[in-house]
Amino acid sequence: MATPLIIAQQILSAITNSAGDSLLSVSQTNATTNGTSAVSVPTPTAMPTDLASLLTFLFSFSALRDWFKLIVIGSVFETARRLVFHFYYKLINSIFITARFQEDDNSYSWMMIWLSKQPAWTEARDVEISTHSFGLSDYEDREGLEGEDEPMSLASGGRKVAFLPSISSTYTIWYKNRWMRVTRTEKQTGYYGKAEETLEICILAWDRRVLNQLLLEAKKEYMSAKEQSISIYVSDVSNNWRHVASRPKRPLHSIVLDPGIKDLLIDDATDFLQSKNWYSVRGIPFRRGYLLYGAPGSGKTSIIHSLAGELGLDVYVISLSRAGLDDNALSGLISELPQKCIALMEDIDAAFTQTLNRDEEPTPPVPGGPPAPPSSKISLSGLLNALDGVGAQEGRILFATTNKYSSLDPALCRPGRMDIHIEFKLASKYQAAELYRRFYMPDAEEESEKGSVDSGYASISDEKEKDLIALDDTSSEASEPSTPAKTSPPPLEVPVFIGGSHRFRAPKLSREQIDDFATQFSEAIPEREFSMASLQGYLMMYKIRPADAAKEAGEWVARERADKAAKLAALEAAESKKAAAKQQVASKPQEIPAPAEVKVEKTAESS
Ligand SMILES: Nc1ncnc2c1ncn2[C@@H]1O[C@H](COP(=O)(O)OP(=O)(O)OP(=O)(O)O)[C@@H](O)[C@H]1O
């Protein structure tokens, strides 16, 4: 700061002097011209007019000279520094390959899974211990992390832990005899204080194909692990898709529907996924919608998850009643869906608190009654636009489920939005028998190994098993209260778990026996009266007692009916009580409050 001031001062004084000298010179010239004697005066410094003399003029100031020297020296140093870095990075780039992976990208998960499997981490002294699944349900089964003396076996909740690179640490490992540096960093994004991670991998190699090989290897490993599961995504508060869980694939045969329904769904969806060209040639939007409606607990959600596994698609759950979701956010979310996926809208009717039918008037809240529930910010037109508006994603399969089919607006159900409507009814006798068969069917591999038939539960000691089989053979008559297998079911009103432990096996049954029991069971179950979920719940109570399950089904049906009738009667009584109270209020003459007596006091002024 001082240098420019000194320079300015010097220049100013030079200019002032030069101006004074010029004036003096002019007056002296005049004096000479007028005949007065000439006085010898020093030659005045004139202001430079060309560039060279200007520079010479400026360099005559010592501070400016120093300042200039400083600039030159600084520039030389800075240029040298930049050159060094430039060549350093050039050299590094030519011998190292650097790749960065952002946390919100799938490739980050591939690499983290790959890294967790590297033996180097088991020897590293500064590691992060993580139970993160990175979108894999069977991540727990990673190789190389087993062993009783390994800390991973201490993992809670059944999920094993992994060694991963710590944040802000740098590691060196070897990949295919090449030196590799791994750095994991975290950066605050400022969005709800969220930190985003970046993984940087630097490989010492000339050939870029090494990176491709590494990526392929990591992706293959990840995908092969993922084949066994489906990923579930939901939208977060900032309306971005977030991976929340991975579920093992549910085999299609485990879901028992009326004949033809499963085939229809799987054939149609498979055909759709293979028909992109067909759709584009005809100018038809490449989207397919399925509306599954009907009784609760009839398998709507289960079949969707099973189909996702069968088709190898991830499930994106759109929760229409989520707080903070409005029309814009919904259309943004739908347009962000990946090319091939299943978008799932469960209980589509519940998104609109009052009605989803445009012809129906919304019910006004009862005065004095409970306040109306907070309504969703999603409007019907917003939903319709999101489903097939300009921003709607191509290639997606939409599944919507509802228990109130009749309350849906026809515009929502029309082809193009919901192309196929399938009703899921309460269990038929056929479904009951099939459910029984599947329930007590042995695991395929166990059956082929042993040539025997059992329920497939994990084994217990042979002696215990023999006991149980012997007990079951004598059926339930000669019950021994000490063994779980012989405990007679307590009355259902008492919420007691009577299914027996998963450690116990069901008795070995031949196929014929299972078929006979299945027929007996289905005969006891009335047609279309109970949901598949409730039948499954019943069988769960008898999971090691197939014979009892078949035999006691009739009693269970009678109990359930009595229970339902009692509940219905209680409900009706409550309803009639409410109606009577309402009538009483309506018939009561409304008392109009008498106007308050107003006393007017005459004041002295008014009178
Ligand atoms: N058809 C079926 N075959 C086998 N299991 C079934 C079937 N239907 C229901 N279940 C069992 O019942 C439970 C509930 O089923 P699910 O959630 O699929 O029913 P849902 O129709 O979607 O019910 P809701 O309408 O209440 O959401 C699951 O554990 C499932 O295994």
CA of 529 to the centre of ligand 1 (A): 15
Q: Is 294 in the pocket of ligand 1 (CB under 6 A)?
A: no
Pairing between β-strand 420-424 and β-strand 288-294 as defined by DSSP bridges: parallel
429 or 605, higher pLDDT = 429
Residue 7 has pLDDT above 90, yes or no: no
Question: Ligand 1: which atom is nearest the Cα of residue 424?
Answer: 21
Q: For the chain, what is the total number of helices (H) and then of strands (E)?
A: 19, 13
Most confident segment among 414-428, 452-466, 503-517: 414-428
Q: Are 461 and 546 in contact (CB under 8 A)?
A: no
Mean pLDDT of 561-569: 94
Pairing between β-strand 229-235 and β-strand 315-317 as defined by DSSP bridges: parallel
Q: Is 120 in the pocket of ligand 1 (CB under 6 A)?
A: no
The pLDDT value recorded for residue 295 is: 93
CA of 267 to the centre of ligand 1 (A): 21
- 10 Å CB burial of residue 52 (0-12, 13-18, 19+) is exposed
Q: Is 500 in the pocket of ligand 1 (CB under 6 A)?
A: no
Q: Which residue has the tokens 């759109």?
A: 318
- Would you state the structure tokens that stand for residue 298, as one six-digit string? 């009839």
The pLDDT value recorded for residue 84 is: 94
The pLDDT value recorded for residue 94 is: 81
Q: Are 543 and 457 in contact (CB under 8 A)?
A: yes
What 3-state class would DSSP assign to 8? helix
Specify the range with the lowest mean pLDDT, choosing from 309-318, 351-360, 521-530. 351-360
Q: Is 301 in the pocket of ligand 1 (CB under 6 A)?
A: yes
Candidates 222, 195, 175, 183; CA nearest to 98 is: 183
State how far the Cα of 505 lies from the Cα of 567, in Å rounded to an integer: 36
Q: Is 106 in the pocket of ligand 1 (CB under 6 A)?
A: no
CA of 536 to the centre of ligand 1 (A): 9
Q: Is 302 in the pocket of ligand 1 (CB under 6 A)?
A: yes
Specify the range with the lowest mean pLDDT, choosing from 203-217, 261-275, 579-593. 579-593
The pLDDT value recorded for residue 16 is: 64
Mean pLDDT of 124-152: 58
Question: Best mutation site among 249, 298, 401, 538 for ligand 1, i.e. most ligand atoms within 8 A of its Cβ?
Answer: 298
Q: Is 331 in the pocket of ligand 1 (CB under 6 A)?
A: no
Distances (CA, A) of 19 to 14, 22, 62, 92: 9, 5, 21, 61
CA of 253 to the centre of ligand 1 (A): 14
Q: Tell me: ipTM over 0.95.
A: yes
Distances (CA, A) of 535 to 138, 305, 423, 435, 540: 30, 20, 19, 8, 9
The pLDDT value recorded for residue 237 is: 81
State how far the Cα of 428 lies from the Cα of 260, in Å rounded to an integer: 14
Q: Is 299 in the pocket of ligand 1 (CB under 6 A)?
A: yes
The pLDDT value recorded for residue 501 is: 56
Q: Is 306 in the pocket of ligand 1 (CB under 6 A)?
A: no
Phi, psi of 222 (to 5 degrees): -65, -45
Residue 300 has pLDDT above 80, yes or no: yes
State how far the Cα of 409 lies from the Cα of 564, in Å rounded to an integer: 32
- 10 Å CB burial of residue 559 (0-12, 13-18, 19+) is middle
- 10 Å CB burial of residue 352 (0-12, 13-18, 19+) is buried
- 10 Å CB burial of residue 344 (0-12, 13-18, 19+) is buried
Helix or strand (DSSP H, E) at 288: strand 288-294
CA of 375 to the centre of ligand 1 (A): 28
Q: What percent of the chain has pLDDT over 70?
A: 68
State how far the Cα of 426 lies from the Cα of 421, in Å rounded to an integer: 16
- Would you state the structure tokens that stand for residue 212, as one six-digit string? 């491709």
Mean pLDDT of 525-532: 95
The pLDDT value recorded for residue 196 is: 80
pLDDT digits (tens, 9 = 90+) for 435-488: 999 998 876 544 444 444 444 443 334 444 444 444 444 444 333 333 333 334
pLDDT digits (tens, 9 = 90+) for 351-385: 764 444 444 444 554 555 555 554 557 888 888 88
Q: Is 255 in the pocket of ligand 1 (CB under 6 A)?
A: yes
Question: Best mutation site among 300, 435, 441, 532 for ligand 1, i.e. most ligand atoms within 8 A of its Cβ?
Answer: 532
Q: Are 515 and 501 in contact (CB under 8 A)?
A: no
Q: Whose CA is nearest to atom 12 of ligand 1?
A: 533
Q: Whose CA is nearest to atom 24 of ligand 1?
A: 296
Residue 517 has pLDDT above 60, yes or no: yes
CA of 548 to the centre of ligand 1 (A): 24
The pLDDT value recorded for residue 574 is: 93
CA of 289 to the centre of ligand 1 (A): 20
Distances (CA, A) of 39 to 23, 24, 510: 15, 12, 141
Mean pLDDT of 562-590: 88
The pLDDT value recorded for residue 54 is: 79
Q: Whose CA is nearest to atom 5 of ligand 1?
A: 255
Q: Whose CA is nearest to atom 18 of ligand 1?
A: 299
Q: Whose CA is nearest to atom 29 of ligand 1?
A: 533
Helix or strand (DSSP H, E) at 482: none
Specify the range with the lowest mean pLDDT, choosing from 50-54, 132-136, 279-283. 132-136
The pLDDT value recorded for residue 192 is: 59
Most confident segment among 40-49, 250-259, 581-590: 250-259
CA of 300 to the centre of ligand 1 (A): 6
The pLDDT value recorded for residue 324 is: 79
Q: Whose CA is nearest to atom 9 of ligand 1?
A: 299
The pLDDT value recorded for residue 72 is: 93
Question: Best mutation site among 302, 344, 346 for ligand 1, i.e. most ligand atoms within 8 A of its Cβ?
Answer: 302
Confidence of residue 317 (pLDDT cuts 50, 70, 90): very high
CA of 418 to the centre of ligand 1 (A): 21
CA of 156 to the centre of ligand 1 (A): 30
Q: Are 506 and 546 in contact (CB under 8 A)?
A: yes
What 3-state class would DSSP assign to 395? coil
Question: Ligand 1: which atom is nearest the Cα of residue 304?
Answer: 18
Specify the range with the lowest mean pLDDT, choosing from 7-16, 141-150, 392-401. 141-150
Question: Domain extents for the chain?
Answer: 2-60, 94-227, 241-355+380-424, 429-561
Question: Ligand 1: which atom is nearest the Cα of residue 438?
Answer: 4
Most confident segment among 153-167, 228-242, 424-438, 496-510: 424-438
DSSP 96: E
Dihedral of CA 157/159/162/165: which sign? Answer: negative
Confidence of residue 144 (pLDDT cuts 50, 70, 90): very low
356 or 253, higher pLDDT = 253
The pLDDT value recorded for residue 495 is: 36
Question: Best mutation site among 261, 291, 301 for ligand 1, i.e. most ligand atoms within 8 A of its Cβ?
Answer: 301
CA of 239 to the centre of ligand 1 (A): 29
Candidates 219, 108, 116, 225; CA nearest to 161 is: 116
CA of 531 to the centre of ligand 1 (A): 8
Candidates 202, 182, 198; CA nearest to 98 is: 202
Candidates 304, 220, 320; CA nearest to 257 is: 304
The pLDDT value recorded for residue 194 is: 67
Helix or strand (DSSP H, E) at 475: none
Q: Is 403 in the pocket of ligand 1 (CB under 6 A)?
A: yes
The pLDDT value recorded for residue 161 is: 63
- Would you state the structure tokens that stand for residue 570, as one six-digit string? 């209680």
State how far the Cα of 224 lies from the Cα of 90, in Å rounded to an integer: 38
The beta-strand segments (E) located in 90-151 are 96-102, 127-130
Q: Whose CA is nearest to atom 19 of ligand 1?
A: 297
Q: Is 513 in the pocket of ligand 1 (CB under 6 A)?
A: no
The pLDDT value recorded for residue 269 is: 94
Question: Ligand 1: which atom is nearest the Cα of residue 403?
Answer: 25
Candidates 336, 351, 520, 555; CA nearest to 436 is: 520
Most confident segment among 4-13, 38-47, 493-502: 4-13
Residue 595 has pLDDT above 70, yes or no: no
CA of 297 to the centre of ligand 1 (A): 4
Distances (CA, A) of 250 to 32, 214, 228, 533: 117, 32, 9, 16
- Would you state the structure tokens that stand for residue 583, as one six-digit string? 């009538």
Mean pLDDT of 215-225: 88
pLDDT digits (tens, 9 = 90+) for 158-206: 455 667 788 877 888 888 888 998 998 888 765 556 678 889 999 998 8
- Would you state the structure tokens that stand for residue 390, as one six-digit string? 């300009």
415 or 485, higher pLDDT = 415
Mean pLDDT of 238-252: 85
The pLDDT value recorded for residue 242 is: 83
Q: What is the mean pLDDT of the chain?
A: 76
Q: Which is the CATH superfamily of the domain at 241-355+380-424?
A: P-loop containing nucleotide triphosphate hydrolases (3.40.50.300)
User: What are the helix (H) ranges across 493-601?
Assistant: 511-524, 532-541, 546-551, 553-587
Residue 73 has pLDDT above 50, yes or no: yes
CA of 335 to the centre of ligand 1 (A): 30
Reported pTM? 0.64
State how far the Cα of 549 lies from the Cα of 542, in Å rounded to an integer: 6
Distances (CA, A) of 305 to 14, 300, 317, 349, 582: 89, 9, 11, 20, 46
Q: Is 534 in the pocket of ligand 1 (CB under 6 A)?
A: no
